[in-house]
Amino acid sequence: MPQNEYIEEAIKKHGRRFDHETRERKKAARKFHKDSQYAQKVHGWKAKMLNQKRRKEKIEMKKTIKLHEAKQADQKTDDVVPDGAVPAYLLDREGQQRAKVLSNMVKQKRKEKAGKWAVPLPKVRGIAEDEMFKVIKTGKRQAKAWKRMVTKPTFVGDGFTRKPPKYERFIRPMALRYKKANVTHPELKASFYLPIIGVKKNPQSPLYTQLGVLTKGTVIEVNVSELGLVTTGGKVVWGKYAQITNNPENDGCINALLLV
């Protein structure tokens, strides 16, 4: 035993005092009142520290209570049939991702016709033209100002060739072009790095759609052939729509959510 543990040594040698248990019990019972008095009295930095400590304790306590409740609930619902039945030959192949097939082609078509999508991000921040475009001065005296440079990330298709500089009104910088997006399948809870096919709609303006500007809330079409989704007709689904969920100009990458 180390030398400095003299209290433990004393307890070991002589035992505790006879009223030790009572004292402990009373101390514990009094503790709440004492804590309360302290909490009412304290102010300033010490109050801040105390509140922080109490908050953490409360969170911990609530978590534990929830855990206990979940345990009890589990015991109650033991005989509930789980969802997602699979035949015997697939039972030992858990862990393989099972993409849900398009639920209903008719529904899908109707949605497309209405041009309305139940998208995860229904509203977007408006972006003014002067934020989107930078005016480029041209001409020998730099007096003309009809040329614009897009300052946001864009998608440019494979077959695109730039117009001659004289006629090129919008410049889409090479450094801000993207060809792939991180697309999350909401039901599989898995992300895939998929090639972009095109920009379906930029909610800001039709001009941005035309230019292929990728901002938060833009609906893009991605190539999902590697996911192995099929239609009810048994054909592989090639393109599906996804909505951009981050600000690509801030992040340097494109994150999107698949619209199922």
Partner 1 sequence: MSHRSECTDDPASASTTPNEPCKELLAHIDIDSAAPRAMEVDTPAQHVVIQFQSADGDRTGPPVSIPVDVTPAQLGLLINQLLENTDEPHPYAFYVNDAEIINSLVQDILQRQPNLSTEDTLTIVYQPQALFRVRPVTRCSASLTGHTEAVLQVSFSPDGRLLASASGDTTVRVWDLDTNTPRYTCRGHTNWVLSLAWSPDGSLLASGGMDNAVRLWDPRTGEALGGALKGHTKWITALAWEPYHLNPDCTRFASASKDGTVRIWDAVHRRVVLTIAQHTAAVTSLRWGGDGLLYTGSQDKTIKVWNPHEGKLIKTLTGHAHWINSLALSTDFVLRTGPFDHTCRRPASKEEAQRTALERYQAARGPHPERLVSASDDYTMYLWDPMNNRKPLARLTGHQKLVNHVNFSPDGRWIASAGFDNSVKLWDGATGRFVASLRGHVGAVYQVCWSSDSRLLVTASKDSTCKVWDLRTRKLKVDLPGHADEVFAADWSPGGDRVASGGKDRVLKIWRH
What is the contact surface with partner 1 in residues (CB under 8 A)?
Answer: 79, 81-92, 98, 100-101, 103-104, 228, 230-236
Asked whether the beta carbons of 200 and 184 are under 8 A apart, the reply is no
Query: Alpha helix (H) ranges present in the chain?
Result: 6-14, 20-41, 45-76, 105-114, 129-132, 206-211, 248-251
CB 17, min distance to partner 1, A: 57
Specify the residue, 19 or 79, whose C-beta has the smaller distance to partner 1.
79
Nearer to partner 1, 2 or 95 (CB): 95
Q: How far is the CB of 191 from partner 1 (least distance, A)?
A: 22
CA-based nearest residue to 132, from 204, 225, 230: 204
CB nearer to partner 1: pick between 87 and 206: 87
Angle at 184 between CA 183 and CA 185, to 5 degrees: 120
**What 8-state DSSP symbol labels residue 12?**
H
**Taking the complex as a whole, how short is the minimal distance between the CB of residue 213 and partner 1, in angstroms?**
34
| Count, residues in the chain | 260
Q: Which is nearer to partner 1, 1 or 91 (CB)?
A: 91
Residue type, 46: K
Min CB(234)–partner 1 separation in Å: 3
Q: How far is the CB of 236 from partner 1 (least distance, A)?
A: 5
Q: How far apart are CA 42 and CA 53, in angstroms?
A: 14
Q: For residues 88 and 174, which CB has a smaller minimum distance to partner 1 in the complex?
A: 88
